Amino acid sequence: MVKKYFASLEEQISLFQNIIGTYSITTKYYTRNKGYISGNIIFTDDSKLGFKEVKDTEFHRKDKYSYNYMSTSDEMIFRYDNAYHHPEIETFPHHKHLPTCIKRSNEPELIDVLIEISKYLEKANNTIL
């Protein structure tokens, strides 16, 4: 059931409260098994993650997704998505945008993206110290 899946995403976000300042989530339910979720997370350093998923729990897949991580100056750090615009990538339609290139990627889960951001922030903090 998609409501249960969306609740699990909010639980995942709560695991990172030590690096999250604020967040907001919007949901829409199309059927019992299919819905849309979007959210904005502001981290304690003021970097931002905007995400959206169209999830179908009956088929255990995301029809669409995007996880867009931006710096405090609104520059892209990375973005994962499954838009149909890079057929040359072997994991098409799944891919990861970086500031200088597009890389292959499997379909990430929100928890994976949050772990990646956590490591990025830890590395940035260690560089500053």
Own/partner pairs, 55-63, CB within 8 angstroms, 24+ separation = 55/2, 55/5, 55/6, 56/2, 57/1, 57/2, 57/4, 57/5, 57/33, 58/33, 58/34, 61/107, 62/107, 63/34
Distance of CA 93 to the CA centre of its chain: 16
**Mean pLDDT across the chain:** 94
pLDDT in tens, 98-116: 999 999 999 999 999 999 9
pLDDT at 127 over 90: no
| Predicted model pTM | 0.92
